[in-house]
Amino acid sequence: MNHLILLGAPGAGKGTQARKLQDERGIVQLSTGDMLRAAVKSGSEIGKKAKAIMDAGKLVSDDIMIAMIEERVQQPDCKKGFILDGFPRTAAQAEALDAMLAKLGLALDHVIEMTVDEKILTERIVGRYTCAKCGAGYHDAFQKPKVAGVCDVCGSREFTRRADDNAETVRTRLDAYRKQTQPILPYYRTKGILKSVDGMAEIDDVARQISAILD
């Protein structure tokens, strides 16, 4: 029961919960956003194509994203299972995912929708930052490190903020979510694998809701 999708608007808490699941259950987080940001940083061809699109808050093309995930799910660390965070985001990606899993003899166990009020998303996103060294996630108000300015996980004092985490880009990202990603929910509902959790709850409470679905 270890192949799942976390689906939700930008800032819904997909990354936060995927990292928790990875730490607690040993199933790997596959964040297409993180993969693209790594590609941008490395200056690869994909990174060059993706940067302007991501900075504008629009979706990178399906063919790039599908190829990226298809390659990733076949890596050895995915053997115990994976949590898809940020993929699929379009109907074409959802269909391609089904086809690639079928080819690998795998099936999706759960698609977990994280529901949140749109009005809090901007606040969550604009206050977000991560450890530059280990990638642990924080928030100016909702998830502060135990010692101010020091990462809880690795002790680093360097943090970064995402280029697309500003109020203006969030509007475009939300629009993409409503128009391109939300329409895939019925696809999973029909298959009987869609569950919802209340993403407005405290971080640990959301984690408990997800665990209840998985166990």
Active site residues: 14, 89, 128, 162, 173
Helix (H), strand (E) at residue 160: strand 159-160
Site string for Mg ion, 5-24 (x = CB under 5 A): ----------x---------
The Cα–Cα gap between 4 and 27 comes to 10
Q: Least distance (Å) from Mg ion to the CB of residue 48?
A: 22
Q: Which one of ligand AP5, Mg ion, none interacts with residue 36, CB within 5 to 8 A by kind?
A: ligand AP5
Q: Closest by alpha carbon to 204, among 122, 155, 143, 140?
A: 143
**Angle, vertex CA 44, rays to CA 39 and CA 47, nearest 5:** 50
Structure tokens at 160: 């970064």
Nearer to ligand AP5, 105 or 197 (CB): 197
Q: Least distance (Å) from ligand AP5 to the CB of residue 70?
A: 12
Nearer to ligand AP5, 81 or 137 (CB): 137
Q: Which residues bind ligand AP5 (CB under 6 A)?
A: 8, 10-16, 32-33, 36, 53-54, 57-60, 65, 86-87, 89, 93, 124-125, 127-128, 137, 139, 142-143, 164, 173, 199, 201-203, 206
Helix (H), strand (E) at residue 94: helix 91-103
The Cα–Cα gap between 134 and 125 comes to 19
